[in-house]
Amino acid sequence: MKIAIVTETFLPSTDGIVTRLCATIRWLREQGHDIAVIAPDLGVYDFEGVSVLGIPARTFFLYPSKKLSFPNRRVGDLLRKLRPDLVHVVNPAMLGVAGIYYARRLRLPLVASYHTQIPKYADYYRLPFLKPILWRYFRTLHNRADLNLCTSQSVLTELSDKGFRRVHLWKRGVDVDQFGPHRRDSEMRDRLSGRRPEKTVLLYVGRLAPEKGIEQIRDVLASSPGICLALVGDGPHRAHLENYFQGTNTVFTGFLHGEELAKAYASADLFVFPSTTETLGLVILEAMASGVPIVAGRSGPTCEQIEDGVTGLLFDADRPGGLAEAVARLTDETVRERIAAQAYGAVQRLGWSEPSAQLLGYYQDVLQEKGKL
């Protein structure tokens, strides 16, 4: 099968979408399928033998730290040249508009996947009046696809309620070989703790953005002087957060990748995930696979991944002090070790083969429906 993937984000960017895409592309290639990626031009033109075809990218005023591509007729030229059996548009918002338009114009079977709750971000960027407009916009885009995918059952239900059609669940996965307790590293712990490894190291991994709710973690540091915080990642909110956490035991590492990221997870004592705007939260699974106990804001997707009190702790992100109380429950090392072990065991059956094979099955369903198989 020849597949063209049109995505709003790809390497060298680092997020859950890119992680899933890389794992999926790798698996599809191993099965003998021909893949091409159309993505913002960020200087990467090959991924393990797969061509990455760049579209001119520029910064966007709402997210100046990341370059994005706007709809471009080059997408149509590339699809005409590639002549794929199927087009998969990942998280259509800007560049993906061209992917959907040209796939339909060329009468190519089309799959779209929904990964980011952009309408919900409007509240955090002080643009709440845009929410109904954004929902209408994304519904219109996705309803042009032959099949839509999302990564959690709660989001699937929400999208269906919002009028999105033909929505199916794309199962979660995690690289259980890359992440694990064996990655614990004393030098990395020194780095994360600001050279105070005797402290309890609280870890956050992800974009530094308003919708992530990272400010809540400051209450934990204020109430527990024995705790330090490492924020792994970058984003438009970094300067604000550096000022907000000034005077606390907080280290900003920037992005970490590969082995360094695996070491960071395994070298922490607790993983904190305050965001309630995710469609999945892949970092939760990576922390679980690393054998680190998790404290996460209660939301549909987090409830699907964490059994409260068993594989992690959930807190009400809208209740002041909720995060600090949850972290306090894990000050007992015996409790931490029990929850970490249970979380680690729960994700060992996961990997990327099953969700990738499921995706291939969806592709085949669409091709069969279109009489192309």
**pLDDT value for 192:** 98
With a pLDDT cut of 70, the percent of the chain lying above it is 99
202/302 same-domain check: yes
310/364 same-domain check: no
The lowest-confidence range among 92-96, 222-226, 312-316 is 222-226
Distance, CA of 167 to chain centre: 19
Q: 256-288, pLDDT tens digit by residue? A: 999 999 999 999 999 999 999 999 999 999 999
The pLDDT mean for the chain works out to 96
148/193 same-domain check: no
Average pLDDT for 310-331: 94
Amino acid at 323: L
Q: Look at strands 46-47 and 2-7 and give their pairing.
A: unpaired
265/314 same-domain check: yes
Q: Phi-psi category of 91—alpha, beta or left, where left has phi over 0 and alpha has psi -120 to 50? A: left
Q: 164-181, pLDDT tens digit by residue? A: 999 999 999 999 999 999
207/341 same-domain check: yes
Using a cut of 0.85, tell me whether the model's pTM lies above it.
Answer: yes
CA distance linking residue 18 with residue 206, whole number of Å: 12
Q: How confident is the model at residue 331 (pLDDT cuts 50, 70, 90)?
A: confident
103/235 same-domain check: no
Distance, CA of 8 to chain centre: 13
**pLDDT value for 65:** 72
25/166 same-domain check: yes
CATH code of 99's domain: 3.40.50.2000
pLDDT at 245 over 70: yes
235/164 same-domain check: no
* Overall number of domains in the chain: 2
Q: 74-129, pLDDT tens digit by residue? A: 999 999 999 999 999 999 999 999 999 999 999 999 999 999 999 999 988 888 99
| Sheet of 86-90, strand order | 46-47, 50-55, 34-40, 2-7, 86-90, 110-114, 147-150, 167-169
**Backbone angles phi and psi of 254, in degrees to 5:** 75, -170
Q: Are 164 and 143 in contact (CB under 8 A)?
A: yes
**pLDDT value for 283:** 97
Q: 10-65, pLDDT tens digit by residue? A: 999 989 999 999 999 999 999 999 999 999 999 999 999 999 999 999 987 666 77
Average pLDDT for 297-326: 95
156/225 same-domain check: no
245/145 same-domain check: no
Q: Are 121 and 211 in contact (CB under 8 A)?
A: yes
What b/e sequence results for 265-275 when a residue is b if at least 16 CB atoms lie within 10 Å of its CB, and e otherwise? bbbbbbbbbbb
Average pLDDT for 306-320: 95
Q: How confident is the model at residue 332 (pLDDT cuts 50, 70, 90)?
A: confident
305/356 same-domain check: no
Enclosing domain of residue 313: 181-347
218/193 same-domain check: yes
Asked if the peptide bond before residue 84 counts as cis, ω within 30 degrees of 0, the response is no
Amino acid at 140: T
